[in-house]
Amino acid sequence: MSEHAQATRREFFGWSAAAAGAGTVAAAPAVSSTIPNANDTIRLGLIGCGPQGKNDLFQCLKAPKTAVVALCDVDPARLRGTLEKTGGKVDTYADFRRVLDRKDIDAVIVATPDHWHAIPALQALRSGKDVYLEKPVGHTVREGQLLVETARRHQRIVQVGLQQRSGGVFQEAARLVRSGKIGQVSEAHCFNAWNMTPGGTGRALPIGNPPDSDPPEGVDYEMWLGPAPKRLFNPNRFHWNYIYFWDYSGGMTIAWGVHLVDIVLWVMQVKGPRAVAVSGGKYVLRDARETPDTLEAVFDFPGFTLTYSCRHANRFPMGSRRLDHGMQFLGTQATLLVDRTGYQIIPEGEKPEPVSSPAELTGGNGPHQQDFLDCARSRKTPACDILEGHRSTVAMQLANIAFRTDRKIHWDPDNEKIAGDPGAAALLSKQYRPPWSLV
């Protein structure tokens, strides 16, 4: 057995023992003896050239002493489009492993479909590269646990793409809540509301029921499926719409809800829920999606309750500044509403006079990628370290498990275990189609 194979086997069994006993490893500052010199250029590789991956890359390239040297995607059209925007002088690949083989790359951005987040990120960490990992952290809870353990073991920086944490709006909202400005918080609400019915006014269109077909010309569909079950190509399961299918993602709960719940966990400084119950279903939309068009999740935390609402058949903004998403922190003295455009504090009383956020506060995007690069140099813990991103992802993965089992899930956030429900616990992990695996 090769030295590398022995290392990955040791890594796997070490993680298994931790997961079976104490759960995810404790947070710790990342330290490494192989940090980029402050005067050196950080050389980046992008794995996944979709809209989010391109945005992450070009936010990074705004920083000085940063260069992209490799692009990877299984769709040649996306690869060409990104290459053109970089000036056409970057090496391109269809197989992410070729990117990770390169010794001259310091860090990679992983912005693939969700079912492809863990494997390239794990291999990047093992090859000594820092990682900017788009949310969700993984497709399963087990993937997130292993990513945390591997990042710590190899002393790598991982910034999770929950960029709201780097926005001035959310940082000030967090400060206000933690300082007691709105009193004691007993409840928080989060929501996404996209009306995807025919003629609806949401940001996404109905996905319909298209038949299976050949993949687009040049697309390596076998590689796109990767560890997911084998099946014929369908345009509904490709690119953005893959989020509505369990084999690749977890619906809006995962695609958007993780952003919102992450802010609540961060502001309230909690590890995770003690229990999750869900009601919902596919009530209105008659399309090919597997995930619900309506979902209400209730999370039990020590000292407060969190609810998350996902709606694809109605876009009422629930009082949160007229947008299709938002968060509400309900305190004894006031309620704080916050989204990417700002926050508002509405005091308790008969004639409340709302207080709005200053216009100059940012909603959160570019500073997050800059923070990743800064931490790659300083080796300080980034704004959304892998452990924090993992915990926020877990909360929404548990909501999906509660929905799929139609049972209330009891969770031990310290040991990261589902208590008393072997059937639900089985959904913390999954099978991988050969030859792919986490090790």
Beta-strand pair 342-347/355-356: antiparallel
pLDDT of residue 202: 66
For residue 40, what are the CA distances in angstroms to 43, 66, 89, 101, 429?
9, 9, 20, 21, 40
pLDDT of residue 29: 47
pLDDT of residue 38: 60
The model's pLDDT over 22-52, given as tens digits with 9 standing for 90+, comes to: 344 444 544 554 556 666 899 999 999 999 9
Task: Say if residues 149 and 84 touch (Cβ distance below 8 Å).
Answer: no
pLDDT of residue 316: 86
Distance of CA 312 to the CA centre of its chain: 20
Nearest to 273 by CA among 144, 408, 117, 426: 408
pLDDT of residue 363: 77
- Largest Cα–Cα distance in the chain? 73
Q: At what angle do helices 141-153 and 3-20 cross, to 10 degrees?
A: 120
Domains contained in the chain, CATH given: 26-165+366-387+420-428 (3.40.50.720), 168-356 (3.30.360.10)
> Tell me, what amino acid is at 78?
R
Element (H, E) at 133: strand 130-133
CB atoms within 10 A of CB 262: 26
Task: Say if residues 314 and 193 touch (Cβ distance below 8 Å).
Answer: yes
Element (H, E) at 276: strand 275-281
SS (H, E, C) 303-333: CEEEEEEEECCCCCCCCCCCCCEEEEEEECC
pLDDT of residue 83: 97
> Tell me, what amino acid is at 393?
T
Nearest to 364 by CA among 391, 383, 346: 383
Task: Say if residues 97 and 127 touch (Cβ distance below 8 Å).
Answer: no
pLDDT-flagged residues of the chain (< 50): 1-27, 29-30, 33
Q: 75 in helix, strand or coil?
A: coil
Nearest to 167 by CA among 303, 357, 316: 357
The model's pLDDT over 142-157, given as tens digits with 9 standing for 90+, comes to: 999 999 999 999 999 9
